[in-house]
Amino acid sequence: MNKSRRVWVIATVVYALFFSWYTSFGGPLTDVEIDRYMARISANPGSSPETIEMMRRFMEEDSGDDFVMINLIELHEQPLVIEGVRPGETSEEVLAKYMQYMSPALFSRASHPVLIGRAANQAMDLMNAPGMKHWTTGAAMRYRSRRDMLEITMNPEFRSSHQFKVAAMAKTIAFPIDPWFHLGDPRLLLALLLAFIAAALSRRSA
């Protein structure tokens, strides 16, 4: 195998590995999976009938593809005092404790923010939304699949870290969008980058 061909083979293998990790191939949630997840949700004393019904609909309408969770967050000026929160810590520092579990759990399942930033002003357009004027942060979190999100949030480690989210946030809104589209899909960007590098190396070796 000459050098040029070897470059293209390596680029193809790298892309195939990334694509297989980043893409959900499991399809929509099966009835067996839904029943298993619903049993765990129903066993949670904090699950209201409305929450149980909402989660069942979320699973039954699964497309099997990735989706994005839109998040609006307002942090407490001072975090709630709970076990694990030290005096003088800010809400941002307490939220970082929540992310100590979430960040590696998200990355391991090819889930990550696609947009995040601090609010530049209060809400500039409100309709029938009292108390929703002020926010601290906006974010959009990409999940590889609904199955991945459920596995992340039903892990016992999530429950122990979730208390820090509650202590840090004064209020939050989160809702999923699916289907969704954006021009910066890493699969497309990596394909273009690898093709450019492989073409440049092949030209140089030639």
Burial 56-95 (b: 16+ CB within 10 A, else e): bebbeebeeebbbbebbbbbbeebeeeeebeeebebeebb
CB 202 within 8 A of CB 12: no
Q: Answer whether 37's CB lies under 8 Å from 57's CB.
A: no
DSSP state of 85: P
Q: Which domains does the chain have, with CATH numbers?
A: 66-178 (3.30.70.100)
3-state secondary structure of 137: strand
Which helix (H) or strand (E) segment holds residue 117: the answer is: strand 112-118
What's the token pair of residue 175?
Answer: 């809702």
Provide the residue-wise pLDDT of the chain in tens; the chain has 206 residues.
678 889 999 999 999 999 999 999 999 999 999 999 999 999 988 889 999 999 999 999 999 999 999 999 999 999 999 999 999 999 999 999 999 999 999 999 999 999 999 999 999 999 999 999 999 999 999 999 999 999 999 999 998 899 999 999 999 999 999 999 888 899 999 999 999 999 998 888 76
Could you give the angle at which helices 49-60 and 31-42 cross, rounded to 10 degrees?
160
Token pair of 136, please? Answer: 């601290």
The Cα-based distances of 98 to 9, 71, 113, 168 in angstroms read 41, 15, 15, 9
